[in-house]
Amino acid sequence: MPATGSAPLVYITGASSGIGQALALRCYQAGWSLALVARRTQVIAQWAAQMQLEPGRYAIYEADVAQPDSACAAAQACLERQGVPDLVIANAGISWGVDTSRREDLDAMRQVLDTNVMGVAASFQAFIAPMVARGSGRLVGIASVAGIRGLPGHAAYCASKAAVIAYCESLRGELRDSGVQVITLLPGYVDTPLTQRNPYPMPFLLSPQQFADKAWKAMTQNKCYAIIPWQMSIAGRVMNILPGRIWDRLLVGRGRKPRHEPPAK
Ligand SMILES: NC(=O)c1ccc[n+]([C@@H]2O[C@H](COP(=O)([O-])OP(=O)(O)OC[C@H]3O[C@@H](n4cnc5c(N)ncnc54)[C@H](OP(=O)(O)O)[C@@H]3O)[C@@H](O)[C@H]2O)c1
């Protein structure tokens, strides 16, 4: 595949599905070059062919972001092949229900934390020093409204997204005055494979394309933290201040995310 030209470059993890794919298309339509990352690189390649992306404007990298060496190797390969990105979107994530009274669900919880939390840090790592040296760049962590308060049955996911919010806030402080921005995005509900089995109402559900348009605005308007859509932003502010007793009562009877069934041995 030919090297990318002088268009701005975005590096997106989780680019084989849902939000990552929609963000990739949004950036491409704005004239950007793409570095697309996931485990299922064949799915990305098929999608790129279907979208008739110009071969010179994208490259595909295989990585399992839950494995820091794998995530760092993909980032390094991008630096060597396409240069220092202008924008890095750490989007790859999984959402598994867990019941931590069951031993096997501790393994599921570890996988969620490795993917959603360590995956964000490992996806940023190789880019931080070159961006700081250049004095510009944007690092975007995809968190979730589910990171604001705990939800029954969703302990692993809520804990992981709360950690993403705190991690990005810490990094933002560390990179203050370096020219590198750290942006935390908290999607509400987006219609992707990740939410399609949710057994509870999903207010203000967006299509991935609608989410990508709103995220694009937030990322290009110098926001450091945005809940998308705005209706969820109001809900998020209320969630933040509700006393625990009231929050607990509001959740009585709410459906739970199905447990992740470990593969049969
Ligand atoms: N959909 C929503 O309502 C919603 C709401 C809030 C936050 N979010 C967050 O938005 C992000 C994207 O979610 P989505 O809804 O677009 O889900 P999705 O359609 O299931 O896509 C998830 C993406 O993450 C990648 N991924 C998962 N584990 C990975 C790993 N270990 N290494 C590399 N890539 C991995 C998948 O690629 P491969 O399987 O090919 O590796 C896939 O491209 C997630 O962080 C999610 O938590 C989503």
- CATH label of the domain that carries residue 208: 3.40.50.720
- 243-247: average pLDDT: 93
**What is the total count of domains within the chain?**
1
**Is it the case that residue 14 has pLDDT exceeding 70?**
yes
Protein residue with least CA distance to atom 40, ligand 1: 40
64 CB near ligand 1 (under 6 Å): yes
**Confidence label for 255 from pLDDT (cuts 50, 70 and 90):** confident
97 CB near ligand 1 (under 6 Å): no
Percent of the chain with pLDDT over 70: 97
Answer yes or no: is 17 within a domain.
yes
Answer yes or no: is 115 within a domain.
yes
Span from the CA of 177 to the centroid of ligand 1 (angstroms): 31
Span from the CA of 243 to the centroid of ligand 1 (angstroms): 31
Q: Exposed, middle or buried: residue 147 (CB in 10 Å: 0-12, 13-18, 19+)?
A: buried
- 13-29: average pLDDT: 98
Protein residue with least CA distance to atom 23, ligand 1: 14
Q: Report how far residue 83's alpha carbon sits from residue 54's, in angstroms, rounded to the nearest whole number.
A: 18
Residue partners of 6: CB distance under 8 A and separation at least 6: none
Answer yes or no: is 149 within a domain.
yes
Is residue 181 classed as helix, strand or coil in its secondary structure? strand
Give the per-residue pLDDT at 260.
Answer: 87
197 CB near ligand 1 (under 6 Å): no
Q: What is the pLDDT of residues 146-160, one digit of tens each?
A: 999 999 999 999 999
Answer yes or no: is 226 within a domain.
yes
Percent of the chain with pLDDT over 90: 88
Answer yes or no: is 265 within a domain.
no
Residues making up the chain, counted from first to last: 265
Residues spanned by the domain of 135: 9-250
157 CB near ligand 1 (under 6 Å): no
Average pLDDT, the chain: 94
Question: Mutate which of 11, 19, 120 to test ligand 1's pocket (most atoms within 8 Å of Cβ)?
Answer: 19
Q: Which residues are catalytic?
A: 157
Give the per-residue pLDDT at 258.
Answer: 84
**Is it the case that residue 4 has pLDDT exceeding 60?**
no
Query: If you search the block for the tokens 């991008």, which residue do you land on?
Result: 78
For 16-69, give the secondary structure using H, E and C: CCHHHHHHHHHHHHCCCEEEEEECCHHHHHHHHHHCCCCHHHEEEEECCCCCHH
Protein residue with least CA distance to atom 47, ligand 1: 93
Is residue 89 classed as helix, strand or coil in its secondary structure? strand
Within 83-229, residue ranges assigned H as helices are 103-113, 119-134, 155-175, 208-220
Question: Mutate which of 11, 13, 17, 204 to test ligand 1's pocket (most atoms within 8 Å of Cβ)?
Answer: 17
Answer yes or no: is 257 within a domain.
no
Give the per-residue pLDDT at 265.
Answer: 63
Q: Report how far residue 163's alpha carbon sits from residue 116's, in angstroms, rounded to the nearest whole number.
A: 9
**Confidence label for 1 from pLDDT (cuts 50, 70 and 90):** very low
Answer yes or no: is 21 within a domain.
yes
Answer yes or no: is 63 within a domain.
yes
**Radius of gyration (C-alpha) of the chain in whole angstroms:** 18
239: its two tokens: 């969630």
Give the per-residue pLDDT at 2.
Answer: 36
Q: What is the pLDDT of residues 165-209, one digit of tens each?
A: 999 999 999 999 999 999 999 999 999 999 998 888 899 999 999
